[in-house]
């Protein structure tokens, strides 16, 4: 049985300047960043402002209070360092905590 957390009473967009570390060749790696206001249970979607060949954001989550975790994928044979000091947009959706059985 699956469970649904309910409605989303709060949704906002946060802009944050990040300077991620290099991502090794042919791998994915999660990196964490401090983003004040995030809470455990928030759903996040992240938009990197520029494209870099072979580099992708393949996962995002709130790993702890005020901590954004982004998994970068490198699909090339060389390390890639995401562009430094870019302003990323983070869409934060905060579901209410009423658990239902999914029967809407």
Model confidence pLDDT, tens digit, residues 32-75: 999 999 999 899 999 999 999 999 999 999 999 999 999 999 99
Domain that holds residue 76: 10-93
State residue 4's pLDDT score.
60
pLDDT (average), residues 75-98:
93
pLDDT (average), residues 16-40:
97
Q: Report if residue 4 sits inside a domain.
A: no
Q: Report if residue 103 sits inside a domain.
A: no
Task: Give CA–CA dist 69/76, Å, rounded.
Answer: 22
Give the C-alpha distances (Å, rounded to integers) separating 7 from 27, 37, 55, 89.
36, 19, 33, 23
Q: Report if residue 53 sits inside a domain.
A: yes
- List the CATH number of the domain containing 81: 2.60.40
Q: Report if residue 5 sits inside a domain.
A: no
| Total domains, the chain | 1
Specify the pairing of strand 10-18 against strand 86-94.
Answer: antiparallel
- pLDDT confidence bin for 24, thresholds 50/70/90: very high
The answer to whether 42 and 93 are in contact (CB under 8 A) is yes
Q: Report if residue 1 sits inside a domain.
A: no
Query: Across all residues in the chain, what is the average pLDDT?
Result: 91
Q: Report if residue 87 sits inside a domain.
A: yes
Q: How many helices and strands in the chain, by DSSP H and E?
A: 0, 6
């Amino acid at each position: 049985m699956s469970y649904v957390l309910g409605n989303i009473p709060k949704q906002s967009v946060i802009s944050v300047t990040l300077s991620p570390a290099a991502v090794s060749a042919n791998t994915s790696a999660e990196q964490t960043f401090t983003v004040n206001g995030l809470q455990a249970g928030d759903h996040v979607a992240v938009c990197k402002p520029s494209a870099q060949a072979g580099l992708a954001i393949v996962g995002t989550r709130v790993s702890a209070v005020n901590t954004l975790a982004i998994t970068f994928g490198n699909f090339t044979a060389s390390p890639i360092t995401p562009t430094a000091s870019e302003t990323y947009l983070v869409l934060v959706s905060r579901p209410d905590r009423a658990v239902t059985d999914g029967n809407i």
